[in-house]
Amino acid sequence: MTSRTRPHRWTDRLRSAAPAPLRHFAGHELRVLASLVLWVARRRHGVNEAVGERAFGHARGQAPVMYGLTFVCVVEAFGMSVLLRGCPTAHAVMLFIDVYSVILMIGIHAASVTRPHVLSPDTLRVRQGAHRDLRIPLALVGAVRSEQLFTHEPADGVLALPVASTTSLALTLTEPVTAVGFLGKGREVTTVRLQADEPERLYEALRGNPAARASHTGAN
């Protein structure tokens, strides 16, 4: 056994020991924390403009909500520290939980900011922060609709990626693609609803892309 093969076998053992949902959950947390670093550095994940990729943000609508929740978490942390000042152990536990909650709230928003939708010459990569990441070949896009929805009932074959409970574009695919969920479970979808800060810009970009064979439809 060489030293080069040992790490791979150790990694394989870890993967086999941890259930898939746990691995996906841990991966999500790591992506959220990594997004904080990208946000501070003012960088974006998975966008290579040198090869013609274009980014389309989707975080603008959720910013007030996320900042509000972060403020609530800070107030709660202060209140709990006062209430538990006579119980050092409980105070330390709650302080850790509250601080991590604040970091998580900011990280979730940072993930949305630093992980935009990405349009390349042959693929549309749609994302929902650190939660979802789906690559759609443009050749499979059969129709694009400008359609703003505020409610999204679960439906077979439909993937909704709302931001602040809103989606503004709907893609109809000619063939199903596999969308992987938060805990790693995949399902086939033929309709994708997504939110964009500038939906008309993304709509026009898809309509003007020669790789997409879409019969584009305007707003309903």
Looking at residue 215, its pLDDT comes to 47
Q: Check the CA dihedral 93-96-99-101 and report its sign.
A: negative
| 58-67, 116-125, 189-198, 209-218: least confidently modelled range | 209-218
pLDDT in tens, 156-178: 999 999 999 999 999 999 999 99
Distance CA 111, CA 59 (A): 9
Q: Average pLDDT of 72-91?
A: 90
| 15-24, 30-39, 192-201: least confidently modelled range | 15-24
Only one residue has tokens 């090869």, namely 51
Which helix H or strand E contains 26, and what residues bound it? helix 20-40
For the chain, count helices (H), then strands (E). Answer: 5, 8
Distance CA 110, CA 67 (A): 11
β-partners of residue 167 are 149
Does residue 7 have a pLDDT over 90?
no
Distance CA 110, CA 40 (A): 9
pLDDT in tens, 119-166: 999 999 999 999 999 999 999 999 999 999 998 888 999 999 999 999
Please check whether residue 178 is in contact with residue 212, taking contact to mean a CB–CB distance below 8 angstroms. no
Dihedral pair phi/psi, residue 63, rounded to 5°: -55, -50
Distance CA 13, CA 38 (A): 31
Looking at residue 6, its pLDDT comes to 52
Looking at residue 20, its pLDDT comes to 78
Looking at residue 26, its pLDDT comes to 87
Looking at residue 3, its pLDDT comes to 47
Please check whether residue 72 is in contact with residue 125, taking contact to mean a CB–CB distance below 8 angstroms. no
More confident residue, 121 or 13: 121
- Our CA angle for 186, 192, 197, nearest 5°, is 120
More confident residue, 5 or 133: 133
Both tokens of residue 219?
Answer: 């707003």
Instruction: Give percent above pLDDT 70 in the chain.
Output: 87
Outline where DSSP puts E strands in the chain.
Answer: 54-56, 117-119, 123-128, 132-137, 141-149, 158-161, 167-180, 186-194
